[in-house]
Amino acid sequence: MTALRVAVVGGGIIGTAVARHLARRHDAAVTLLEKEDHLAAHQTGHNSGVVHAGLYYEPGSLKATLCRRGVTLLQEFVTEHAIAYDECGKVVVALSESEAGRLDALHRRAVANGVPGVRIVEADELRAIEPHAAGVRAIHSPQTAIVDFPAVTEALAGELRDAGGSVRLGHEVTALTERTDGVRVETTKDEGEHDLVIVCGGLQSDRLAVLLGESREPRIVPFYGDYFVADAGQRSLVRGMIYPVPDPRYPFLGVHVTPKIDGTLTLGPNAFLSLGRESYEHGRVVPRDVLEAVGFPGFWRFASRNVAAAVRESRTALSPRRFIEEARRYVPDLDPTGVRRGGRGVRAQAMDDAGRLVDDFVITGTDRVVLVRNAPSPGATSALAIAEHVVDEALRRRNGRTSR
């Protein structure tokens, strides 16, 4: 029997995990296509490195299920590959009694999702966990962790190659044509025929869907998140992560304090409309991306409902001082003079025509081409579980066709 010819588009952690899963678990000849000259070049390589435990997600949602499964698989994988993984823990801190009331609902959700060891702590115990944290009450998640997701991605690619798969860098997909006998994939360097194509395009997922003739919706509207970095002498101010309580008035979480696996202490991110889908440098504008975002009616419907959020985020976007002061609300001992501007990430925020943020995973396509249209946070945490789910879905669709 001839091996299934599969192309996976997108060399972030999810695409690489999908390709590796196919090559190791199924009779498939797998090719991973990535447009950049290295893997993990976009969202995977520009995030905070947090391994989420599952506190926030709607119980029973695909997001919640894949997060918990993903953590288990990730822990096994990093242990096998000796990749640094630190269960430093996380506190979600209420600064006032009005915020403290929201912790109970969040705690119930975390318990329903099976988050291990999660509990509510009062101010004195919060100080025992995080001596420099402000707050009147908190949720403590002791197993929330940090990891180097690009290192995980490279290790996944290593297993893909060991299983006979190939990784082709610098291959930007320019056309997807579904035909009666397969799918033609054209890139900037070559073209090929495949029996199955799985697209994990992240920031470009809607544009890749259009190549197949699918709807642009949900549309990707990019939001950037800046990070600031505290000097090495301030790393000891926190033991784990310190997060704000989610505010239902705002669509984004707000600035938090997070150590990284390399020992740096980061503040952020905020969230503001990006002037480019891949604009990681300050001041870089991509006119096509801007025009597409502001020309999308859904964006203006979203904006009209979130004026207060835009005002809040614009303060930290325009003023480094306000950004740092936002973090100091949670860790007052942070010295602003020892904080410098760090990197920037860009979030692939899926949005529908009505201006609603698409919160859960979205998978569309046909029996030959499967499109991962939305894989939001905790996408990196859940990557190995997402790979299982997406491959099962792709093969179910294909087998449904071949059995007819």
Amino acid 27: pLDDT: 86
CATH number at residue 284: 3.30.9
Binned average pLDDT, 10 residues per bin, the chain of 404 residues = 89 98 94 98 96 94 94 98 98 95 95 97 98 98 98 98 98 95 96 97 97 94 97 97 89 92 96 96 95 97 92 91 96 98 96 94 93 94 97 91 45
Q: Which of 356, 372, 394 is the last residue of a domain?
A: 356
In this structure, the answer to whether residues 326 and 387 fall within a common structural domain is no
Total domains, the chain: 2
Q: Is 283 left (phi over 0), alpha (psi -120 to 50) or beta?
A: left
Amino acid 401: pLDDT: 62
Q: Could you give the maximum distance between any two Cα atoms of the chain, in Å? A: 68
In this structure, the answer to whether residues 205 and 351 fall within a common structural domain is no
What domain range is 347 assigned to? Answer: 220-356
Close Cβ partners of 225 (under 8 Å, ≥ 6 residues apart)? 268, 269, 270, 271, 344, 345, 346, 347
Please tell me the number of Cα atoms within 13 Å of 257 on its side-chain side. Answer: 29
Q: Which of 319, 335, 356 is the last residue of a domain?
A: 356
Between CA 314 and CA 205 the distance in angstroms is 27
